[in-house]
Amino acid sequence: MRLISHGPQPHVLPSGEELCAAIRGHHIGGHPLLELAAELGSLYQTMRACPHQCCCPRVELVLAVDTWAANHLPVPCGGARMHTESLGAVIDRLARLQVHAYHLLMTVEDLGKDPQVHAAWYRLAELVEGYTDLNTELSRRSLRLPALGDGG
């Protein structure tokens, strides 16, 4: 006889730290979402260098994340609350903020006196923490994500 567990499921999403590393182009292998995060990071770096770059690939990457989530995340419990954004939208925002914060770190001359550098890294840390909470709630099946195309 096989026992069915209704407790927390193992994490199926990469950690926030893994996502940030992938966005920077490091340690990408091992999870399909890390590859998509790396592509979003590369796209945001290109858009920073060429502001008139088309962001159509960004929309496709967000949809690819959302499609993966719809096919691989545990089915939420019946009373699970709805999250305000899709997983693709969250990872997209994480990529944008990571690229922005790193750009500031590399280009601002006096890091100690420029409040925007601290603010950018603080905001990124908040978003990573929020993503970690999202990951936990999804693995516990206590949260559901918007339908494809509804959360960005």
pLDDT digits (tens, 9 = 90+) for 63-91: 999 999 999 999 999 999 999 999 999 99
Helix, strand or coil, per DSSP, at residue 143 = strand
Residue 9 lies in a domain: no
Residue 150 lies in a domain: no
Residue 1 lies in a domain: no
Residue 102 lies in a domain: yes
Q: Is the dihedral of CA 130, 132, 133, 137 positive or negative?
A: positive
Residue 56 lies in a domain: yes
Residue 20 lies in a domain: yes
Number of domains, the chain: 1
pLDDT digits (tens, 9 = 90+) for 93-148: 999 999 999 999 888 877 667 788 889 999 999 999 999 999 999 999 999 999 77
Q: Domain of 50?
A: 16-144
Q: What is the pTM of this model?
A: 0.85
Other Cβ atoms closer than 10 A to 9: 14
Q: Report residue 3's pLDDT band, with 50, 70 and 90 as the boundaries.
A: very low
What integer pLDDT is reported at residue 5 of this predicted model? 39
Residue 6 lies in a domain: no
